[in-house]
Amino acid sequence: MRFHRRIKRVRAGNRDAGPFTIFLVEAAADRPVGVRVLWGGIAREVCYDPDQGPPPLPPGGPHKLILGPAFDV
């Protein structure tokens, strides 16, 4: 049942708020500071400057936080 709700939400296109999978990644030459949308809008990769720390989380929630790079699928 949860799977069907997730599919329905992704197809509906409401991806501005709600729970996301968030990958917190330290910025590097190939990953500049910023936010990138992944997996059809249900995940975010947040690249941040390690000297300044991670930025505030996007609105909505609860979010699943993963430290490290995202895998492009």
Position 48 scores a pLDDT of 92
Higher pLDDT residue, 54 or 15?
Answer: 54
Separation of alpha carbons 31 and 64, rounded Å? 21
DSSP codes, 10-71: HHHT--SSS--EEEEEE-BTTB-SEEEEEGGGTEEEEEE-TTT-PPPPPSSSPPEEEESPPP
For the segment 4-42, what is each residue's pLDDT rounded down to a tens digit?
676 666 655 545 567 889 999 999 888 899 998 888 888
Position 32 scores a pLDDT of 92
Domain extent listing, the chain:
1-72
- Residue 55's pLDDT band, with cuts at 50, 70 and 90, is confident
Q: Which of 18, 21, 22 is nearest to 61 (CA)?
A: 18
Position 7 scores a pLDDT of 62
